[in-house]
Amino acid sequence: MPLHISSGGAGIAAAGVNPLLRAPGSPDAAPVPAPDPSAVPLHSLWISFLVILVSEIGDKTFLIAAVMAMRHARITVFAAAVSALAAMTALSAALGRVVPAVVSRSATQFAASALFVVFAVRMLADAWFMDPATSAAEEFRAVQTEIDDKEREEEEATKGGLPAPAQAPSRRSPSPSSSGSGSGWRNLANYLLTPVFVETFVLTFLAEWGDRSQIATIALASADDVWRVTVGSLLGHSLCTGLAVLGGRLVAAWISVRTVTIIGAALFLVFGIIGLYEWAYGYQLDD
């Protein structure tokens, strides 16, 4: 007795042939859904997190946060550095979001994966010619000297016969007369938007501009889920900045730049090869 699936499929049912078992080229064959990159588990989040982690440990933005936290309030330095890195991450993710609208997803997948392989080769070349005894402490002292020179220049520029600026009110003891939601926002702004916050924000943003981690974020956002890449990048930046603020000098003295570079190159190479494999056996099926 034939099995009737529906009124529209009575003819097929009467023939006793399952439509899912039809030959792929036949007109009755069931359509094969295209692979959806967003359906893949949280691999894009973890890849972006690890890429940022190995790129930022001992990097200039890491050392800037460490130096500033030694001289100023840690919470202010952390908030400023994370804000700058979050702004840069949002900008990079937006740029990566625009790329697939101009270039096909298959091309962006291939370009991003190839770029990771190029980064890996360059990092391995840098590690090859690097002194094994080199530590991040030397970079730490260089950044410290750079910030000292910048603050000295700003101090000399603010002199020049001009009266000294008025002393800012204490951030730790807000006026008892201030109350309400409006004064709360003002207190928060007075606490965060200080010269230290602005200086840390600007230094971090400029140091991150054009950095390898920014380019990697753009590449990942153009080839994978942009929201997961953004979240993973923010988590990586927050972790690195937290380490820098809490004990950046100790971390800089302990880590080896060459070792970190080799580990980063290995991760970039693995992620690049995985991306090329997914491009060859995944997105290429859509062509």
Segment 116-131, tens digit of pLDDT: 899 889 989 888 887 7
CB neighbours of residue 196 within 10 Å: 16
Please state which of the ranges 102-116, 234-248, 272-286 shows the lowest mean pLDDT: 272-286
User: Distance from CA of residue 202 to its chain's centroid?
Assistant: 18
Instruction: Please check whether residue 44 is in contact with residue 220, taking contact to mean a CB–CB distance below 8 angstroms.
Output: yes
As a whole number of Å, the CA-based R_g of the chain is 27
Segment 209-243, tens digit of pLDDT: 888 888 888 988 888 888 999 999 999 999 999 98
3-class DSSP assignment, residue 253? helix
DSSP secondary structure code for residue 135 in this structure: B
Structure tokens at 139: 């970079």
CA–CA gap between residue 158 and residue 58 (Å, rounded): 32
Q: What percent of the chain has pLDDT over 90?
A: 16
Tokens 């094994």 belong to residue: 132
Neighbouring residues of 214: CB distance < 8 A, sequence distance ≥ 6: 88, 92, 208
Structure tokens at 184: 């709360």
DSSP secondary structure code for residue 37 in this structure: G
